[in-house]
Amino acid sequence: MSADLESCPRCRAPVGADLTHCGHCGLSLPTGGEVPEAWIGRTVAGKYALEEVLGVGGMGMVFRARRVLVGDCVALKVLYPRFLESPLQRKLFHDEAVAAARLAHPNVVTVFDADLTGDGGVAYIAMELLDGAPLKRLLRDRAPLPPAEALPIFIQVCEGLAAAHDARVIHRDLKPDNIFLQTLPDGRVRVKLVDFGIAAMLDVDGHEEQRRLMGTLRYMAPEQCRGEPLGPQADLYALGVVLYEALTRRRATGRTVSAILNDVVVPPNHLLEADRTLPRDLEALVLRLLAKSPAKRPASAVETREAFQACLASLGGAAPVARRESAAPVSAPAPPAPAPPALAPVMSPPARSAAPSRSVLWIGLLLAGFAGVAGGVVWTLLTP
């Protein structure tokens, strides 16, 4: 039952009282006790006062919450109560919190607290509330990006991935939705990796766990599509897909598993106008990242970061040599201009038209994560 909802919480399409899913967008509709607005004013675990609904998804709800003791605000992910009875859903929720908590790095979202048992009737993850926009928005508005604009962003993505891989964590769902451009108080922008909802922990997950076909198909590596055990190169493939889209505004492969496994990637310069062609070393690096075989991709995120830095330096500017522990903020440049922006570790934040509130920005970001996990769960259950 849809808990007497009149419209879908995601797309606002009308829904009937007897429906379990929205007929328009497919969202699993909240049941009794799961209507997000009914939670406003409630204090979770005696610590988090729920003030605003940031979003809903197939697996749970996201709130802006004020910490009672400290007084600041966090983003609070709450698992739908009905999923407390599902071992798989609880394990995914648990793994997201544990994977993120392992990573103390400026380019990874910070998790402050979690209760994953559900013993108090609520399973939640409290994380930093980010101000800014996902990379998806920048690509939608501005792609194809010039290399001088894209590379500083992807250098910091590599910083976050390197920290994750050092901690034996594979993201498994890297995509533009999960690369967040956080606006800092001084106006600079820092890249943050978010949503480790289906991350694999190499020292914890067994062979069968890694075989689960979870993720967003468009960014899944061939070995991930085949259900094979994954290594860091799976994240590097996804990084290559995102970079390809950023530089060309085109998909790297077709829309099916067969296309991912068999399509020959068109070199970016075959798609770009003459005045937008990439340096040969950068084009070759993109194609290496998109190699079908993990062994033919770069060996690590660190190697990839260094290659990006070399490409950036070859464009005529000084590549930002960010130390792993500091990760100096970097951003996309200001509104489009005829000349490329200065190549420096810190640049102006991305142009934003009618800048929405950070609550609105978190909706799309976190719902994308919920959708990816829910889709992976369905695929897992349907795979022999």
| Residue range 277-287: mean pLDDT, rounded | 97
pLDDT for the residue 316: 77
pLDDT in tens, 176-207: 999 999 998 898 889 999 888 777 766 555 54
pLDDT confidence band for 123 (50 / 70 / 90): confident
Quick check: 211 and 229 in contact, CB under 8 A? Answer: yes
Quick check: 371 and 143 in contact, CB under 8 A? Answer: no
| Residue range 252-266: mean pLDDT, rounded | 96
pLDDT of 384 > 50? The answer is no
pLDDT of 218 > 70? The answer is yes
Quick check: 32 and 3 in contact, CB under 8 A? Answer: yes
Question: Which of 95, 173, 177, 195 is an active site residue?
Answer: 173
Rama region for 192: left / alpha / beta (φ>0; ψ in -120 to 50; rest): beta
Half-sphere exposure of 75 (CA within 13 A, CB side): 26
pLDDT of 85 > 80? The answer is no
pLDDT confidence band for 368 (50 / 70 / 90): low
pLDDT for the residue 92: 76
Q: How far is residue 214's CA from residue 66's CA, in Å, rounded to a whole number?
A: 33
pLDDT for the residue 381: 34
Closest CA to 189 of 105, 130, 127, 111: 130
Walk me through the domains of the chain, giving residue ranges and CATH numbers. Answer: 36-129 (3.30.200.20), 132-314 (1.10.510.10)
Half-sphere exposure of 263 (CA within 13 A, CB side): 18
pLDDT in tens, 234-256: 999 999 999 999 999 999 999 99
| Residue range 289-317: mean pLDDT, rounded | 95
| Residue range 4-27: mean pLDDT, rounded | 58
Looking at the chain, the whole-number percentage of residues with pLDDT higher than 70 is 69
pLDDT confidence band for 217 (50 / 70 / 90): very high
pLDDT in tens, 16-60: 555 555 666 655 555 555 688 889 999 998 999 999 998 777 678
Q: How far is residue 310's CA from residue 327's CA, in Å, rounded to a whole number?
A: 17
- For residue 51, which phi and psi values (nearest 5 degrees)? -115, -30
Q: How far is residue 103's CA from residue 382's CA, in Å, rounded to a whole number?
A: 32
pLDDT for the residue 63: 94
pLDDT of 215 > 80? The answer is yes
| Residue 358, both tokens | 């950070």
pLDDT confidence band for 102 (50 / 70 / 90): confident
173 is catalytic: yes
Q: Beta-carbon neighbour count of residue 188 at 10 Å?
A: 17
Q: How far is residue 278's CA from residue 281's CA, in Å, rounded to a whole number?
A: 8
pLDDT for the residue 91: 76
| Least confident range of 101-105, 248-252, 334-338 | 334-338
pLDDT of 269 > 80? The answer is yes
Looking at the chain, the whole-number percentage of residues with pLDDT higher than 90 is 47
